Structure 1
Amino acid sequence: MRNTNTPVAAEGYPFILGFLVVAVVMALLGTYLHPFFFALAILGLLLSLFSIFFFRNPERNTPTDENAVIAPADGVVIFSGKVVEPHTKVEMEKISIFMSVFNVHINRAPLSAKVVDSFYTKGKFYDVRDERASFENEQQGMVLEAPSGLKLVVVQVAGLIARRIVCYAKTGDMLTRGRRYGLIRFGSRLDVFLPVGTRINVSMGQKTVAGETVLGILP
C-alpha cells in the first residue's frame, strides 16, 4: 500500500509543487513587471501550505482487540442506525463519518480482513451530509471478510467538492487493521456497514480518529 511512513500523502505532491511553482513565477513577475503579482505569489504559497496540511499523513496508535472495528476516517459521525446495505442487500448497522477539508483524509482499514469484493459506482455529487449521498453519489466500496467469517462493507463517498476517490485495495488483498488503504480529495464521507449485533461504540456528533477510534465491537 502507498503512503506508509510518509509525512505527506504522495497524491498531494502535484498540488504542493504546482502551487509552489505558481508562487515562484508570480514572485518573479512581481519583481520585473508589476508589484500586483506579489499578491498572487502569496496566494500560491498559501495554497501550497494548505495542500501540505490537507495531505498530511500522521501515525496512529491502533487498538489490538481483534473484535474492534476501527474508524477508517477522521471526522464526525453524522449517521448511525440499521439500514439495508445497497450492494449486498443485507440489513446492517451503518455508521457514516463526514470529513471536512480540515480533517486528515487518509483512509485506514477498519479491521484485519480480506477484500472479498469491491465495487465502483459513478454518480452525483450531493453534499455528503445529505443522506442521498450514500445512494446517489460517486462511490468506491469494498466488502471485507474478517477471520471469523463476518462481513463488513466500507464505502468511500465523493461529495460536493471531493471528486477524486483513491483506493489502493483490490479484491483478494489482505488488509491489516489501521493500515492506509486510500483517500478522498477535498471533503467527503465514509460509510461503514457492520453486522447486526455489533455493539456500537460511537454516537451522533462524535468525532472520530482514523486508525484509533473504536466504532463497535463485533458479535
Structure 2
Amino acid sequence: MAGEVMDNRGRGEAKPGLPSVHPEGRKYALICLGVSLIAALLAWETIAWPLAFLSLCILAFFRDPERIVPRDDSLILSPADGTVTQIVEVEVPRELQGEAEGRFKGMGAGPVTRVSVYLSIFDVHINRSPCGGTIGDMAYVPGKFVNAELDKSSEENERQHIVITRSDGVVVGMTQIAGLLARRIVPFVKPGDIVAAGQRVGLIRFGSRVDLYLPEGTSPQVLMGQRVIAGETVIGRLGVTTELEGLKQ
C-alpha cells in the first residue's frame, strides 16, 4: 500500500506482485492490442501475433513499480533505474546555475560531481526526485538523439534540466536526457511544486540517461558500473566525501 511505513525491524508488509503500468503506456498498449485484434479477425495472423507481443512489450516498458524510499534528510537518492556509466567533475550547466533575478535559487557556477545513470530499454523509465524540496527552474533544451551512453549526450541531446531546492537551502540538480530511441521527455512536475524524496517527477521514452549533480562537499556513494534503483539507491550523503572502491566479479 502506497505510503506505508517500512523499517529494518520488521514493520510493514511486503507483497510480491506485478507492478502497475503508467497511464502514458496504457493508451499505446490498448491501441496496439486493438489493431492486433482487428488483424486477427481479418485472419492476418502474421500481423496479429507480432502486434500482440508488441503490446506486452509496451506494458513492460511503462511499468511503474512502487519503491521503498529511505527516510533520511541527509540522503540523495538515485533519480533513475539503470547503470552508473560516468562519475566526473564538471562545470554546472548554465540551465542549473540560476540567476540573481530569477524566482528560484540555482546551483551557482563552479565544478561539481556529476553521476550519470544510463537506462536501457529494459529498465523502468519513471524518474524520481533525488531529495525532498521545491522544484525550481525547469529548462527544456531541444537537441539531437545520439547514444545516451556517450559523454556528449549531456551537452547535445534533447534534455530537461530540473533544479530542486531542499528546505535547508541546499540545491540539487538533475537532467533527463533523451537517447538514441527516446523521443520524448514527459515531466510530471512544474516550477514551484513541492516534492518528496523518491516522488515521481517524469519519464523518458525508450532508452535514455539521467545526470545527477551533487552539491559541493558531497561525493558519490556508488561505483562505476553499479546498478541503481530510482528512489531507493543512495547516490550521496550530504557532507560525506569518502572514497569507495569495488571489485567486479
The bucket for the TM-score relative to the shorter chain is: over 0.9
Q: Helix, strand or coil for the counterpart of 2:183?
A: coil
Query: Partner of 1:26 in structure 2?
Result: 39
Question: Of 110, 127, 140, which residue of structure 2 is paired with 1:120?
Answer: 140
Question: Of 30, 42, 54, which residue of structure 2 is paired with 1:17?
Answer: 30
1:214 aligns with 2:239: no
More strand by share: 1
Deviation of the 1:93 alpha carbon: 1.0
- Structure 1 residue ranges without an equivalent (≥5): 1-5, 31-36
Query: Contact 2:118 / 2:209 at 8 angstroms: preserved in 1?
Result: yes
Q: Percent sequence identity over matched residues?
A: 42
Deviation of the 1:196 alpha carbon: 2.2
Deviation of the 1:169 alpha carbon: 1.3
Q: Number of aligned pairs? A: 208
Query: Partner of 2:4 in structure 1?
Result: none
Deviation of the 1:144 alpha carbon: 0.9
Give, as a single letter, the amino acid of the residue that structure 1 aligns with 2:172.
L
Counterparts in 2 of 1:144-183, with a 5 A limit? 144-183=164-203
Q: Distance in 2 between matches of 1:164 and 1:14?
A: 16
Consecutive aligned runs of 4 or more in structure 1 exceeding 3 Å deviation: none
Give, as a single letter, the amino acid of the residue that structure 1 aligns with 2:123.
N
Question: Of 51, 55, 68, which residue of structure 2 is paired with 1:48?
Answer: 55
Query: Contact 2:80 / 2:231 at 8 angstroms: preserved in 1?
Result: yes
TM-score (norm 1): 0.92
Deviation of the 1:166 alpha carbon: 0.5
Give, as a single letter, the amino acid of the residue that structure 1 aligns with 2:65.
P
- Structure 2 residue ranges without an equivalent (≥5): 1-18, 98-108, 240-249
1:141 aligns with 2:161: yes
Query: Partner of 1:3 in structure 2?
Result: none
Query: Partner of 2:83 in structure 1?
Result: 76
Q: Helix, strand or coil for the counterpart of 1:201?
A: coil
1:85 aligns with 2:105: no
Q: Helix, strand or coil for the counterpart of 2:28?
A: helix
Query: Contact 2:81 / 2:228 at 8 angstroms: preserved in 1?
Result: yes
Q: Helix, strand or coil for the counterpart of 1:196?
A: coil
Deviation of the 1:148 alpha carbon: 1.6
TM-score (norm 2): 0.82
1:97 aligns with 2:117: yes
Give, as a single letter, the amino acid of the residue that structure 1 aligns with 2:113.
E
Q: Distance in 1 between matches of 2:223 and 2:32?
A: 39
Q: Helix, strand or coil for the counterpart of 2:64?
A: coil
Question: Of 99, 107, 129, which residue of structure 2 is paired with 1:109?
Answer: 129
The root-mean-square deviation of aligned C-alpha atoms, in Å, is: 1.0
1:182-218 Cα deviation digits (max 9, x unpaired): 1000000000001121131101100000110000001
1:199 aligns with 2:206: no
